[in-house]
Amino acid sequence: MPHRIAVIPGDGIGPEVAKVGVRLLERLGLPLQFEWFDFGAERYLKDGTILPRGFLDTLRRDFDAVYFGAVGDPRVPGNEHAKGILLAMRFELDLYINLRPCILIDDRLSPLKGKGRNELRFTVLRENTEGLYTGTGGVFKKGTADEVAQEVEINTRKGVSRICEAAFAFAERRGLARVCMADKANVLLHGHGLWRRAFADTAQRHPAIQAKAMYVDALAMDLIRQPEAYDVIVTNNLFGDILTDLGAALTGGLGLAASGNINPGRVSLFEPVHGSAPDIAGQGKANPIAMALTGALMLEHLGYPQEANRLTAAVEAQVRDGAHTPDLVPLLGGTAATTDQVADELYKRL
């Protein structure tokens, strides 16, 4: 049976990079069957569709993965369609692991003096279904001088334990020695006390892995000072959001950053970290590498680690001595190539 993949290119540069990603994945000759869906701003503006009724059930029943470009369009106020599409999939498919490798692929991309490929190699597992991102809370006396606003952070023992477990399992699978958990347990005594307890319990089940709990502010400093001290970082939704942007900036920027929204063994969603970048859409300037590396993450999830490595190696060679899009010119020098030129070279390398 081929693996079935739902491709949602979305808005802006999403379709430009999704086209490249699928072409590269097809080149690998694997039993992958792609089905394209047109959800995004265009469709929403035309007939009001965000995600059709029953689509999530179809994904659960008939698909192994979603390969997602980006959503967001200046014509849609507040980008309500984007929230409806992405958040619905993250929450309703229970994609509790947000996996973001922050791995430098070329020394010239590092903004840190003396830190290169050997030093910048950490991966963040961000809890993706709870924390401060559930919308729990409310506003009282809105718009008045007496306004009160409350945002509630949800931490469940089950939710925290399963993301901690996923971090240790990831370290074991990759042969990595260390897992660090980031919290703010010195101030957020209740919720982050729970994180400390759940992390310590999980660590006990994985005695071969070095486990360390840190305050997130100390970790943010240390990631700049000595990134080589970290292999796997596990943290909550908010801190993960911030640390992974730091990680993207340390490893070449948005044009290279890949992510997975995963529930192991179930349909999971893979997307580049960047958004729809309306400022450069339709101009051939989009860097397709984040989408290609996102494809490699998806291949690993589907059980093709060798092909994932092949794709990653082709990307590394491309960044080392191939053409690159304008975003990488300040870091790599040379002249800018188009999305399609980079894609053609990558295709040949594969």
176 or 248: whose CB is closer to ligand ATP? 248
10 belongs to the binding site for ligand ATP (CB under 6 A): no
Q: Does 115 bind ligand ATP (CB under 6 A)?
A: no
Nearest-CA neighbor of 230 among 212, 242, 248?
A: 212
- When asked if residue 251 is in the footprint of ligand ATP (CB under 6 A), the reply is no
Active site residues: 133, 184, 217, 241, 245
Task: Between 131 and 255, name the residue whose CB sits nearer to ligand ATP.
Answer: 255
Cβ distance to ligand ATP smaller for residue 98 or 202: 98
Nearest approach, Cβ of residue 256 and ligand ATP (Å)? 8
Residue 274 makes contact with ligand ATP by CB under 6 A = yes
The reply to whether 318 sits near ligand ATP by the rule CB under 6 A is no
Q: Indicate the residue type of 206.
A: H
Closer residue to ligand ATP, CB minimum distance, 240 or 275: 275
Question: Interior CA angle at 190 toward 189 and 196, to 5°?
Answer: 75
CB 288 within 8 A of CB 339: yes
Q: Which two tokens stand for residue 36?
A: 């394209």
Q: What is the distance between the alpha carbons of residues 296 and 117, in angstroms, rounded to a whole number? A: 19
* Closest-CA residue to 133 (of 222, 242, 30, 206): 242
Q: Going residue by residue from 275 to 314, which x/- string records binding to ligand ATP, judged by CB under 6 A? A: xxx-xx-----xx--x------------------------
Position 72 contacts ligand ATP (CB under 6 A): yes
* Residue type, position 33, single letter: Q
The amino acid at 127: E
Q: For 122-172, give the DSSP string.
A: EEEEEE-SSBTTS--EEEESTTSTT-EEEEPPB--HHHHHHHHHHHHHHHH
- The least CB distance from residue 78 to ligand ATP, in Å, is 11
Q: State the residues that interact with ligand ATP by CB under 6 A.
A: 13, 72, 254-255, 274-277, 279-280, 286-287, 290, 325, 327
